[in-house]
Amino acid sequence: PNGIDISQSPIPSFPREWHNPPIIGTMSRLVEEKALDVLLDALAIIDKRGIQFEVRIAGDGNKRKELEEQINRLGLNNKVNMLGWVKDTDKFYNDIDIFCFPSRHEEFGLVLLEAYKNGLPAVVTNSDGPSDIVRDKINGLIVPKDNAEALAEALESLLLDKKKADVLAKGGYNTLINEYSIPVFGKNLSEALHLVIEAYKGKKTS
């Protein structure tokens, strides 16, 4: 696994104050495997239930026009803001309340660790990378890929239960500190390299 440097980052406050209405955010390339179309379908389900929220999507890609058309078709124009690429990522995370990662295919995903660093609860799919990091109901929520209804249920559960969201956010931050901060990453890398070197020495002497 990878790691991120949090040595210069302020410790987020828990519980974190939310916007009114709460803001769901995601950051990714606007491409097929990121499944933002599924996120939009999930948001439409939540919207029909009368739950208040806003959405910010950071990123760009070849699916942008299709996604904008989908937003219009679903009547989410007053809910979803397409930001394009953002330069100040910490500001982006500070300006949202829930992080969503709806990918169909994903590797490790540093953006999830960035969300943890900024004290955000996360909803992810069971794609390889995120499901390796997230432990369901402990440091985030995991839903099946390509399942808008399940994604809507997970997001709704956080929108309607901030205490639950706060617990997951704290769990995510603790996971970052204990498993993916640079000191931990460096220690793990050193140990792995030591094992490789010892194995290589063993082969040479055998």
State pLDDT tens for residues 113-132. Answer: 999 999 999 999 999 889 88
Tell me the percentage of the chain whose pLDDT exceeds 90: 77
Q: For residue 70, what are the contacts with CB-CB under 8 A and spacing of at least 6?
A: 37, 40
Task: State the pTM of this model.
Answer: 0.88
Q: What local confidence, expressed as pLDDT, does residue 199 receive?
A: 83
- Mean pLDDT computed over 84-107: 94
Residue 95 dihedral angles phi and psi, to the nearest 5°: -95, 5
Model pLDDT for residues 19-33, shown as the tens digit of each residue: 999 999 999 999 999
Which residue from 183, 124, 178 is spatially nearest to 154, judged by alpha carbons? 124
Peptide bond before residue 22 is cis, with ω within 30 degrees of 0:
no
Q: Is the pLDDT of residue 187 over 90?
A: no
Q: Is the pLDDT of residue 206 over 70?
A: no
- Please report which confidence band the pLDDT of residue 3 belongs to, taking 50, 70 and 90 as the band edges: confident
Residue 194 has pLDDT above 90, yes or no: no
pLDDT at 8 > cutoff 80? yes
What's the mean pLDDT in 1-15?
Answer: 84
| 143 three-class SS | strand
Model pLDDT for residues 161-171, shown as the tens digit of each residue: 999 999 999 99
Rounded mean pLDDT of 65-70?
Answer: 98
Cα–Cα dist 33/25, whole Å = 17
Contacts of 115 (CB under 8 A, 6+ apart): 93, 99, 101, 122, 172
